Amino acid sequence: MARYVVERTFPEGFNLPMNDAGAETCSLVVSNNAEEHVTWLHSYFTKDKTKSFCIYEAPNPEAIRQVARRNNLPVDHITEVSVLDPYFYK
């Protein structure tokens, strides 16, 4: 499965509550993603939470776009990436 970085902008900032409601939201996202064989691995946010960089495994960028629409998430840019692990050289 290919790996992608998905860049997103949240002009008002991203807020996911750290409670049962937030956990429920994440579960719904994961469930919606599974329908298109998309796996959300993790996300990085800027300090002001207006920009995110999410790591996904997916069959193609269009599958990511489809689940983003279903999950009401913006998509600015999708880049296919590969992993460079510094421990590879030891």
Indicate the domain borders of the chain.
Answer: 2-83
CB-based contact 49:10 (threshold 8 Å) = yes
pLDDT tens for residues 5-60?
999 999 999 999 899 999 999 999 999 999 999 999 999 999 999 999 999 999 99
What class has domain 2-83?
alpha beta
DSSP state of 21: H
Q: Give alpha helix (H) positions in 7-84.
A: 20-34, 61-70
- Residue 66's pLDDT is 98
Q: Which two tokens stand for residue 51?
A: 């920009």
Q: With a threshold of 0.85, does the pTM exceed it?
A: yes
**59 vs 38: CA distance, rounded Å:** 7
Evaluate if residue 90 carries a pLDDT over 70. Answer: no
Residue 32: count of CB within 10 angstroms of its CB: 19
